[in-house]
């Protein structure tokens, strides 16, 4: 049902406005490049990252652009394939935390009363827990399968999304389009999911974009401590292996570290662009 006071985010010329932000464009460009590298890793670096291809600890050269590690494995292949793990962890974590945070924030903000108090107490409890050490404990107890790690991170990252969405819903639930919907007999669930949520969803998008960087860094931290998935190649594992050769093989930590830094920079710039473009519009009308 289209109501006279219903507020919707403006979509026309969205790309044009986003393109006017240099930082966001740089972040988007880096992010797309990393995404393409992850998708076409087998084409870009066909060498098996876990197979010895040359002598150990060879410096970067025309034959091996990023050199080789202590077992003679191609560092370029390892860094390239590590992009897949980083992006998978980031996206799965952001998606999981968005689902949980959206449900908690929407129900809490829209229903209020007992549900608001109960859900916010649960949220505050999770916020008080040190996220990295909680992740460390859960991985130690239940294993380091990369899918489980990503889901587990999502189950600890959702609190920011929940609180942000709740604040948006609290503002929207008394707007004219909600009152108009109630006046014509629209069911409360329909108002919540079809009228309030779409207008508050920009905050979820912004929060999820920021959480990608946090999830990638957390997974890299776990892997650098030797708690990553041993069946996959990740940048954290490469950094963990490079610790022993920090004085003799600079390329072992420089390239995976640079890849990690560029990925985090990219997601941060994209998130900042979304903040500038989406968040203000949630307050412009209504």
The model carries a pTM of: 0.82
| pLDDT-wise least confident of 113-117, 229-233, 274-278 | 274-278
- 4 in any annotated domain: no
Residues 6+ apart with CB under 8 A from 202: 9, 274, 278, 279, 281, 282
Number of domains, the chain: 1
> Sign of torsion, CA 11 16 18 24?
positive
- 108 in any annotated domain: yes
| pLDDT-wise least confident of 64-78, 145-159, 253-267 | 145-159
- In the predicted structure, residue 286 carries a pLDDT above the cut 90: no
pLDDT for 15 equals 64
pLDDT for 2 equals 46
- Calculate mean pLDDT across residues 49-64: 90
pLDDT for 10 equals 46
User: What long-range pairs does 241-249 form, CB within 8 A, spacing at least 24?
Assistant: 241/69, 241/70, 244/70, 245/57, 245/70, 248/57, 249/57, 249/59, 249/67, 249/69, 249/70
- In the predicted structure, residue 279 carries a pLDDT above the cut 80: no
Which CATH number does the domain housing residue 44 bear?
1.10.3720.10
- 118 in any annotated domain: yes
Q: What residues make up the domain containing 26? A: 21-282
- 3 in any annotated domain: no
The model's confidence at residue 175, banded by pLDDT at 50, 70 and 90, is confident
The model's confidence at residue 281, banded by pLDDT at 50, 70 and 90, is very low
Is the model more confident about 45 or about 139? 45
- Calculate mean pLDDT across residues 98-125: 92
- In the predicted structure, residue 284 carries a pLDDT above the cut 70: no
- 195 in any annotated domain: yes
- In the predicted structure, residue 8 carries a pLDDT above the cut 70: no
- 28 in any annotated domain: yes
- 223 in any annotated domain: yes
Average pLDDT, the chain: 85
Integer-rounded Cα Rg, in Å, for the chain is 22
Using alpha carbons, select from 225, 41, 23 the residue that is nearest to residue 144: 225
Per the DSSP assignment, residues forming a β-bridge with 68 are 74
- In the predicted structure, residue 5 carries a pLDDT above the cut 50: no
- 14 in any annotated domain: no
- In the predicted structure, residue 31 carries a pLDDT above the cut 90: yes
CA pair distance 82, 204, nearest whole angstrom: 27
């Amino acid at each position: 049902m289209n109501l006279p006071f219903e507020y919707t985010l403006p979509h026309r010329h969205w790309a044009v406005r986003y393109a006017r932000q240099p930082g966001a464009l740089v972040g988007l460009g880096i992010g797309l490049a990393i995404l393409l590298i992850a998708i076409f890793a087998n084409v870009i670096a066909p060498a098996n990252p876990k197979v010895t291809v040359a002598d150990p600890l060879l410096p970067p050269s025309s034959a091996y652009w990023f050199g080789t590690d202590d077992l003679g494995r191609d560092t370029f292949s390892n860094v390239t394939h590590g992009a897949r793990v980083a992006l998978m962890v980031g996206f799965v974590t952001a998606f999981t935390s968005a689902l949980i945070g959206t449900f908690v924030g929407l129900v809490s903000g829209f229903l209020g009363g007992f549900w608001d108090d109960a859900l916010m107490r649960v949220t505050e409890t999770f916020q008080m827990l040190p996220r990295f050490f909680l992740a460390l404990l859960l991985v130690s107890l239940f294993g380091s399968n990369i899918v489980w790690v990503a889901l587990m991170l999502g189950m600890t990252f959702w609190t920011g999304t929940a609180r942000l969405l709740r604040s948006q819903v609290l503002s929207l639930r008394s707007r004219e389009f909600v009152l108009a919907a109630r006046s014509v007999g629209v069911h409360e669930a329909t108002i919540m999911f079809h009228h309030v949520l779409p207008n508050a969803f920009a905050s979820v998008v912004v929060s999820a974009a920021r959480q990608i960087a946090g999830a990638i860094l957390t997974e890299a931290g776990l892997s650098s401590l030797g708690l990553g998935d041993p069946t996959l190649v990740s940048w954290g594992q490469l950094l963990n292996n490079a610790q022993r050769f920090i004085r003799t093989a600079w390329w072992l930590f420089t390239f995976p570290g640079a890849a990690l830094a560029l990925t985090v920079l990219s997601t941060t710039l994209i998130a900042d662009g979304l903040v500038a473009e989406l968040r203000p519009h949630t307050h412009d009308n209504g």
